[in-house]
Amino acid sequence: MNEHVVRVLAPQVLSILVRRGNDFAAAEDAVQDALLEAHRSWSDAPPDDPKGWLLTVAGRKLIDARRSEAARRRREDALSHEPEPAPAEQADDTLLLLFLCCHPALSPASAIALTLRAVGGLTTREIAEAFLVPEATMAQRISRAKRTVSGRPFAQPGDVAVVLRVLYLIFNEGYAGRVDLSAEAIRLTRQLALACDEPEVAGLLALMLLHHARRDARTDEHGTLVPLDRQDRTQWNEAEIAEGVRILQAALARDRRGEYQIQAAVAALHDDARTAGETDWPQILAWYDELRELTDNPVAALSRAVAVGEVDGPHAGLSAVEELATRLGDHHRLDAVRARLHERAGHLDLAAEHYTRAAARARSTAERDYLTRQAARLRRG
């Protein structure tokens, strides 16, 4: 049984079963039972209609689970007579399932796990490895999430902004273990873009592609983090950059700009520069000024402060950073940006101190090691 069945067809079958009014957890269990039976039965010769086969078997599993004979007859009749959904209906089913997995009643961590499990088709073990937690812990998180959404309405789409936030969180988890979560987020966002004609969905897809294009250059052969201005740009994926720019231009042309479109525009300007010195920082700052009109996100404002430092000098950048200090608190990026700007201003002792502070609160080993090395480099100098 190939990966296409597990990653593509299984979520579609689950979507249909839930849309038909079945309990989410019970439907998910039935789909898993159907996959096990397929693994035993198909061997190297899958049926002509594998999705129909899975839907039929999963439906029977649900029927078998019913205690009431009357409920069993009604479910069996529905599964045997309801026509197969048209392609547009299948897309709607997948979209509704994605919205259900991103229900506001779920915490971000639970929404991410349930989305990867139900819509992404990843196994619990793969999700646990990606987030570096025990499989039992992840299984409990997913089970709680399924109980939370069971019985929730499945007829109306939810808030697109919530879904985009969950997908962006998945993307930012990056790569760990055997699963590239960034690539998985791109795949799921492509599905959403096909079913949801919103410029911000396209903007998020473009942003993901433009960032993912730099993945191979982000670390060296020793696994050491390489900052953007020192990356080997010949390693960037030109095809992903071209696709991201094309999607972004189409979204911006609709003149309904949003946060993800503007962030993607900034990423496109970075990707367009042949060298770090050719980066169009004034245009990047202009985009961040527009973003400031749309969102009060302090992390985005911190990125704007970096652009201010590049355009107007490190002291101006430091002034912009200090305006954010009370809002960002002890966020490690605040000290990392301070360190960079102090170094450019020639305040090497202060820069080393801020690099050390940032390293102490860094969220990944690679980032912590990079910041620690920067502090050591300045102290040696």
Distances in Å between the Cα of 262 and the Cα atoms of 184, 189, 266, 289 are 22, 17, 6, 10
Give residue limits of the domains in the chain. Answer: 1-84, 86-166, 197-294, 296-381
Of 13-27, 147-161, 209-223, minimum mean pLDDT range? 147-161
265-303 b/e with 16+ CB inside 10 Å = b? bbbbbbbebeeeeebebeebbbbbeebeeeeeebebbbb
**CATH number belonging to domain 86-166:** 1.10.10
Per-residue pLDDT tens over the stretch 92-138: 566 778 888 888 888 888 999 998 888 888 888 888 887 878 999 99
Distances in Å between the Cα of 93 and the Cα atoms of 12, 86, 153, 328 are 7, 10, 13, 40
Whether residue 78 is predicted with pLDDT greater than 60 in this model: the reply is no
Say what percent of the chain tops pLDDT 90.
45
Question: Which residue matches tokens 């202060």?
Answer: 350
CATH 1.25.40 is right for the domain spanning 296-381? yes
Q: What pLDDT does 151 receive?
A: 73
Give the HSE-up count for residue 206: Cα atoms under 13 Å, Cβ half-sphere: 29
Residue 376 near residue 351 (C-beta atoms within 8 A): no
At 348, list the tokens.
């090497």
Q: What is the mean pLDDT of residues 244-254?
A: 95
- Planar angle of CA 58, 97, 115, nearest 5 degrees: 100
Per-residue pLDDT tens over the stretch 288-312: 999 999 988 888 999 999 999 999 9
Q: How far apart are CA 381 and CA 77, in angstroms?
A: 78
At 380, list the tokens.
């040696």
Q: What pLDDT does 2 receive?
A: 67
For the question of whether the overall pTM of this predicted structure is more than 0.85, the answer is no
246 CB neighbour count, 10 Å cutoff: 12
Residue 26 near residue 65 (C-beta atoms within 8 A): yes
Q: What pLDDT does 178 receive?
A: 57
363-369: list long-range contacts, CB under 8 Å, 24+ apart.
363/332, 366/219, 366/223, 366/224, 366/225, 367/225, 367/332, 369/224, 369/225
- In the predicted model, what is the mean pLDDT of the chain? 85
Q: How far apart are CA 123 and CA 118, in angstroms?
A: 9
pLDDT confidence bin for 88, thresholds 50/70/90: very low
In total, the chain counts a number of residues equal to 381
Residue 212 near residue 186 (C-beta atoms within 8 A): yes
CA distance from start to end of the chain: 58
Nearest in space to 6 (alpha carbons), one of 24, 20, 26, 42? 42
Nearest in space to 356 (alpha carbons), one of 344, 342, 346, 345? 342
